């Protein structure tokens, strides 16, 4: 058993334990393995243990891995999530190679992704990034702007609005982390309850290595874990 496979099993155990503590079914929380800065061989190692969804922050690096792994017959089809900032000059690369984009925070970016998504591929799955705690140096929408953008993005062809993503600042303790993540859950629920979307959102992407338990307690349906799987960068 490799270190990555052993780490994956430990992370899955953490998710299960957190779900049980929160009174949730572990099947309701997906694990996104964040493979930024680690090579294609590390992704292939994780894939041998059944991990299929991978997140990349850096677009060029991610595309290089996606293309390399597609050339390896032993590696199954993988699901690739762009979780880093997307600039206008990189939207075509993202639209052509990724399956999900979790970091949309501007209508212009969503429109370009929609226009540039190849017709032979399934629609691109989209999460809006929310700057839930108002961090000055953070990407993401102000909470008050989420509903309007969600309504516009939901109308774009070649995209499917799936949910919200947030990366709040590290919290002092479990209770503080739960409170931060609960803000995102409240926004998610409010947008779904507003009736402005043709299909309700189903994905709340919250929590990383340090705070996945708090995120699950608050209602996260997807945790993004890198360090606990692949090691320190």
* pLDDT in the model for residue 137: 62
Q: Mark 197-233 as b/e (b = at least 16 C-beta within 10 Å).
A: beeebebbbbbbeebbbbbbbbbbbbbbbbebbbeee
Three-state secondary structure call for residue 77: coil
Average pLDDT of the residues of the chain: 97
Instruction: Grade residue 138 by pLDDT with cuts at 50, 70 and 90.
Output: confident
In tens, the pLDDT along 86-125 reads 999 999 999 999 999 999 999 999 999 999 999 999 999 9
* pLDDT in the model for residue 139: 86
> What is the tally of helices (H) and strands (E) in the chain?
9, 8
CATH topology for 3-17+28-230? TIM Barrel (3.20.20)
Q: What is the mean pLDDT of residues 42-53?
A: 97
Q: How far apart (Å, rounded) are the C-alpha atoms in residues 187 and 8?
A: 30
Q: How far apart (Å, rounded) are the C-alpha atoms in residues 46 and 38?
A: 11
Percent of the chain whose pLDDT exceeds 70: 99
In tens, the pLDDT along 188-220 reads 999 999 999 999 999 999 999 999 999 999 999
Q: Domains of the chain: which residue ranges?
A: 3-17+28-230
pTM of the model: 0.97
Instruction: Give the pair of three-digit tokens for residue 186.
Output: 């409240």
Would you say residue 13 has pLDDT above 70? yes
Q: Residue 30: phi, psi to the nearest 5?
A: -95, 150
Q: What is the mean pLDDT of residues 54-66?
A: 98
Q: What is the mean pLDDT of residues 160-179?
A: 96
Instruction: Grade residue 28 by pLDDT with cuts at 50, 70 and 90.
Output: very high
């Amino acid at each position: 058993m490799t270190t990555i496979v052993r780490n994956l099993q430990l992370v899955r155990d953490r998710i299960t334990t957190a779900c049980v503590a929160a009174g949730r079914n572990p099947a309701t929380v997906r694990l996104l393995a964040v493979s930024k800065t680690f090579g294609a061989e590390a992704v292939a190692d994780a894939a041998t243990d059944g991990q299929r969804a991978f997140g990349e922050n850096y677009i060029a690096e991610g595309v290089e891995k996606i293309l390399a792994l597609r050339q390896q017959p032993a590696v199954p089809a993988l699901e690739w999530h762009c979780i880093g900032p997307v600039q206008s000059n990189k939207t075509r690369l993202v639209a052509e190679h990724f399956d999900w984009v979790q970091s949309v925070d501007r209508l212009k970016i969503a429109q370009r992704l929609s226009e540039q998504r190849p017709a032979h591929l399934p629609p691109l799955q989209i999460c809006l990034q929310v700057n839930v705690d108002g961090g000055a140096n953070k990407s993401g929408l102000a909470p008050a702007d989420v509903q309007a953008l969600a309504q516009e993005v939901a109308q774009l062809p070649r995209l499917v609005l799936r949910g919200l993503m947030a990366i709040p600042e590290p919290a002092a303790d479990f209770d503080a982390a739960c409170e931060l993540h609960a803000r995102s859950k409240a926004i998610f629920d409010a947008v779904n309850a507003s009736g402005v979307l043709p299909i309700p959102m189903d994905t709340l992407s919250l929590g990383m290595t340090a705070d996945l338990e708090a995120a699950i307690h608050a209602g996260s349906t997807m945790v993004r874990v890198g360090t606990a799987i692949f090691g320190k960068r």
